[in-house]
Amino acid sequence: MVPHILIVDDDLSIRDAMQEFIETSGYEASVASSAEEALDVLSGNTLEVVITDIMLPGMNGLELTDRIKSSHEIDVIVMTGYSTEYSYEEAINKGASDFVFKPVRFEELLLRLKRVLNERRLNQERIHMLEKLKKLSITDGLTQLYNSRHFYNQLKGEIERFNRYGHQLSLLLLDIDNFKDFNDTYGHLEGDKILVCLGRIIKSCLRKMDTAYRYGGEEFTIILPGTHGEEAWTVAERLRAAVAVEDFTDGKIPDLEITISIGVTQYRREEEISSFVQRADQAMYQSKQAGRNKVSF
């Protein structure tokens, strides 16, 4: 996308000349004759850079810079005459990215503009990369659900919310039944495919607020904020039933039955996080004891 530049100057001839120059340099250019008009243009457009004169009727270019930097992700280049009392430092302190003297030498302005745009691009790439790394650090590579590190962080947060606002909080812990047998019979790679497929089913059974995690090898957890135990049990039962009827291998292994056992717990005030998770684990174990493919509370 072509970068969009806004030129702010109260002198019509300067405005026009700069607009033409910026446009012939390959950018989209808009103009404003005052800071107030510039703020109007900003509110209705996506802009990359504002090039503003300092001496303007009404709000001056430094105040404009201040306003822009406090509410927009936009770079500002400030222009002023040699003889004014405004200093380079003042403009930079207000958040300006660069500064040019008037009369503006267009070739110099273009170099500075290119440098500012380049830094913007690098910054965006950096932010994008950090977001990707952050996502990677909380995601389980196989199932694309969240990982167990993220589970404990999120659960801690939900427990704090519970203690502050008294919202209900429930937890499901589920484990694939006799999965070792499956691996022994069909191999680990086929087992991994089952895990991926199960991850998808879990996701499809979740409500908007719920989050699912690969807790361990073939064990998963689901945090259900704002949910009391009975409701959580209903979610668990729906998930158990969905897994039991799923054809995990698209008929390649006829009569294959994959089932899960689920433990449901509701958070008790002031309970330690470890005790909360342990109770879910105990409930899951009860489901195993009761013959597997069950939900226990």
Q: Are 287 and 233 in contact (CB under 8 A)?
A: no
Q: Kindly tell me which residue out of 53, 158, 177, 281 binds ligand GH3, with binding defined by CB under 6 A.
A: 177
Q: Which stretch binds ligand GH3 (CB under 6 A): 20-28, 133-141, 187-195, 200-208?
A: 187-195
179 binds Mg ion (CB under 5 A): yes
Residue 53: contacted member of ligand GH3, Mg ion, none (CB under 5 to 8 Å, by partner type): Mg ion
Q: How far apart are CA 90 and CA 154, in angstroms?
A: 44
With tokens 């105990």, the residue in question is 282
* Site residues (CB under 6 A) for ligand GH3, limited to 204-223: 217-218
Residue type, 205: C
For 7, the 3-state DSSP assignment is strand
The span of 42-50, 53-61, 169-177, 240-248 binding ligand GH3 (CB under 6 A) equals 169-177
Residue closer to Mg ion, measured from CB, 96 or 169: 96
Residue 290 as a binder of ligand GH3 (CB under 6 A): the answer is: no
CA distance 183 to 193: 11
Kindly give, in sequence order, each residue whose CB lies less than 8 Å from that of residue 226, ignoring residues fewer than 6 positions away. Answer: 167, 168, 169, 209
The active-site residue, picked from 28, 85, 131, 218, is: 218
Q: Is 192 in the site for ligand GH3 (CB under 6 A)?
A: yes
Residues 6+ apart with CB under 8 A from 72: 42, 47
* Residue 218 designated active-site: yes
The pair of three-digit structure tokens given for residue 63, joined into one six-digit string: 């105040």
Considering beta carbons, is residue 27 or 220 the nearer one to ligand GH3?
Answer: 220
Q: What one-character-per-residue DSSP string does 111-180 give?
A: HHHHHHHHHHHHHHHHHHHHHHHHHHHHB-TTT-SB-HHHHHHHHHHHHHHHHHH---EEEEEEEETTHH
Question: With binding defined as CB under 6 A, does residue 178 bind ligand GH3?
Answer: yes
Name residues contacting Mg ion, limited to 46-65 (CB under 5 A): 53, 55
Which C-beta is closer to ligand GH3: that of 84 or that of 289?
289
Q: Which residues bind Mg ion (CB under 5 A)?
A: 10, 53, 55, 175-176, 179
Q: Which residues bind ligand GH3 (CB under 6 A)?
A: 175-180, 183, 188, 191-192, 195, 217-218, 288, 292
The catalytic site residues sit at 218
